[in-house]
Amino acid sequence: MPSINIGLIGLGTVGCGVVKTLQKNQASIKEQTGLDLNLKKIADIDLERERPVNVPKEMLTANVNDILDDPEIDVVIELIGGYSPAKEFVLKAVENGKFVVTANKALIAKHGLEILEAARKNNVDVYFEAAVGGGIPLLLPMGLSLSANRIESIYGILNGTCNYILTKMTKEGKSFETALKEAQEKGFAEADPALDINGSDSMHKLVILASLANRCFFNEKDVFVEGIEDISQKDIQYANELGYCIKLLAIAKFEKEQLSLRVHPTMVPKEHMLSKVENEVNAVFLRGDIVGDLLFSGKGAGMMPTASAVVADLINVAQDISNELKQNVRLIGFEGGKKIKTLSIDEIESRYYLRIEAQDKPGVLAKFSEALGGFGISISSVIQTEDPETKTVPVVITTHRAKESAVKKAIEKIEALDSINGKVKLIRIADL
């Protein structure tokens, strides 16, 4: 039976999941593929830490070159995350003629073109299904199965940590900090959880999805990014009252011939399927011009769901090696060259939720409506709750569709009024 030798770089949460999966399903993988997937070496900088897997001591090394320079190793799995030294390791593996499987969304979003070009030059492939949506099969459908379509819009819940935090704040009234701590304990969050909550992780995943969907390569700078740091219990409660859930959405949407790429907290109607996606579950709701609407959903973070995607890539790679197939046959659309114009955030049109802390005195509401009306923005609803205890009251306004640049000008005018306290809180309302 042909044997494929594997080197694993990074024995963290997902790395342990990969080892567990290979140990558990070795026999069935052999039976399915006729290949023996042999985990030969594991490199990690910390060899002492207690881990939830048993690996023979001689399999472990602190020297990554024991993998990268070993001519017997056919496939390198990179699971350390981040840009550097992951990029150097992946490029060295490729230059040494090794196939690569990675879950590294930051690396692919930033250096994907360069890495795939290096792979082409060296007649090997780089697979990265686990980089987006954890265990949900997304990149194969996006890059291949949907290639008959123009993908008109993608609305993704792509970060398990943020979805977990927002769900716990909404359903259980938990504080942001408590919910984040739980997400970290459950192994969903990045080593630096700021990347989850500031929207960067979702942005990386959106760059990859949108690039595959459109057969061109977008830049991280094409994406407007706003995280969930400033979402308060107040906004969650008002959203609920208005019939919405707040989700961190990653959006790629054609507006005429230009593509709007953005990640931001978004109010999603409670009856929409995306509102029902809770905890660490991820989902991608997309619209293709031929297929219509599709929803992909499943566990987007955590040890075993992510390991499922890594090992699936590994099996594909092993089959490609054994069949002498090259050039990432699955991902036909990930190329440079072609350009699609992207819209800046100021150019988009949306509906908006605005929360203003206002003094409760005559004429204040009229001033808000004058500021909005002056820029052609039509108000859709207003909530003002009485509070005898405080001098200010929250005024919550939702608008009809308006241009973002106009809304920002109106906000500037409102913030200049002496009858309000602090900044106006803006949350975009989804038009799904």
129 binds ligand HSE (CB under 6 A): no
Q: Which of residues 181-240 bind ligand HSE (CB under 6 A)?
A: 188-190, 196, 201
Question: Could you say whether residue 265 binds ligand HSE (CB under 6 A)?
Answer: no
Q: Count interface residues toward ligand HSE (CB under 6 A).
A: 11
Contact flag: residue 350 with ligand HSE (CB under 6 A): no
Minimum CB separation of residue 285 from ligand HSE in Å reads 17
Closer residue to ligand HSE (CB): 7 or 135: 135
Of 166 and 358, the one with the shorter C-beta distance to ligand HSE is 166
78 binds ligand HSE (CB under 6 A): no
Q: Which stretch binds ligand HSE (CB under 6 A): 68-76, 154-162, 259-267, 361-369?
A: 154-162
Say whether residue 300 binds ligand HSE (CB under 6 A): yes
Among 15, 143, 160, 199, binds ligand HSE (CB under 6 A): 160
Options 236, 301, 372, 396; binder of ligand HSE; rule CB under 6 A: 301
The answer to the question of residue 316 lying near ligand HSE (CB under 6 A) is no
- Nearer Cβ to ligand HSE (188/218): 188
| Active site residues per annotation | 205
Query: 309 or 427: whose CB is closer to ligand HSE?
Result: 309
Q: What is the 3-state secondary structure (H, E, C) of the chain?
A: CCEEEEEEECCCHHHHHHHHHHHHHHHHHHHHHCCEEEEEEEECCCCCCCCCCCCCHHHEECCCHHHHCCCCCCEEEECCCCCCCHHHHHHHHHHCCCEEEECCHHHHHHHHHHHHHHHHHCCCCEECHHHCCCCCCCHHHHHHHCCCCCEEEEEEECCHHHHHHHHHHHHHCCCHHHHHHHHHHCCCCCCCCHHHHCCHHHHHHHHHHHHHHHCCCCCHHHCEECCCCCCCHHHHHHHHHHCEEEEEEEEEEEECCEEEEEEEEEEEECCCHHHHCCCCEEEEEEEECCCEEEEEEEECCCHHHHHHHHHHHHHHHHHHHHCCCCCCCCCCCCCCCCCCCEECHHHCEEEEEEEEEEECCCCHHHHHHHHHHHCCCCEEEEEECCCCCCCEEEEEEEECCEEHHHHHHHHHHHHCCCCEEEEEEEEEECCC
Contact residues: ligand HSE, CB under 6 A: 134, 159-161, 188-190, 196, 201, 300-301
